[in-house]
């Protein structure tokens, strides 16, 4: 069985997240998703929603077989436990694929790293970014 793994923050789920996870699911027969703990999100504003709530929302998606909370200090610990055949990165995630491949090799984790395709908006008003959703809320509600 080919086990695929996706990961991310998944704060305020939107169609871009669904596209990413559906595409990741097609790259394997089983999809595991690691949802980042709030304390580990340092490359952007911290999530609005608690990690468990984000994990539960991701886990409720049809494409996802199992959702996990990330490790508090070692982002590779859940990857070792899940033992994926392929790690699928989101098209716009900040990760360096070569650096991830080196870190996986250093830890003896044998899996491929791929990048998902972008999802184009279905219409001009569709938002595919949590940040843009928050901006829209501020514009309309504040």
Task: List the chain domain ranges.
Answer: 3-141
Return binding residues for ATP.
Answer: 9-10, 14-17, 92
Tokens linked to 56: 């539960």
Reported residue count of the chain is 142
Measured CA to CA, the distance from residue 31 to residue 47 in angstroms comes to 23
Average pLDDT, the chain: 94
How distant, in Å, are the alpha carbons of 7, 19, 132 from that of 118? Answer: 16, 8, 16
Confidence of residue 64 (pLDDT cuts 50, 70, 90): very high
> Which H or E run contains 89?
strand 86-89
Return binding residues.
Answer: 9-10, 14-17, 92
The CB-based long-range contact list for 101-110 (8 Å cut-off, 24+ gap) reads 103/76, 104/76, 104/79, 107/76, 107/80, 109/76, 109/79, 109/80, 109/83
> What homologous superfamily does CATH list for 3-141?
HUPs (3.40.50.620)
Confidence of residue 42 (pLDDT cuts 50, 70, 90): confident
């Amino acid at each position: 069985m080919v086990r695929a793994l996706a990961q991310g923050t998944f704060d305020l789920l939107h169609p871009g997240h669904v596209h990413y996870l559906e595409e990741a699911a097609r790259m394997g027969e089983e999809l595991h998703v690691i949802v980042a703990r709030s304390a580990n999100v340092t490359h952007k504003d911290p999530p609005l929603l608690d990690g468990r709530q984000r994990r539960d929302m991701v886990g409720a998606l049809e494409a996802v077989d199992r959702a996990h909370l990330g490790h508090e200090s070692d982002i590779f610990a859940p990857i070792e436990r899940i033992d994926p055949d392929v790690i699928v990165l989101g098209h716009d995630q900040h990760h360096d694929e070569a650096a991830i491949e080196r870190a996986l090799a250093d830890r003896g984790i044998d899996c491929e790293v791929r990048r998902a395709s972008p999802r184009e908006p279905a219409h001009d008003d569709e938002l595919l970014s949590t940040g843009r959703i928050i901006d829209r809320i501020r514009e309309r509600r504040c």
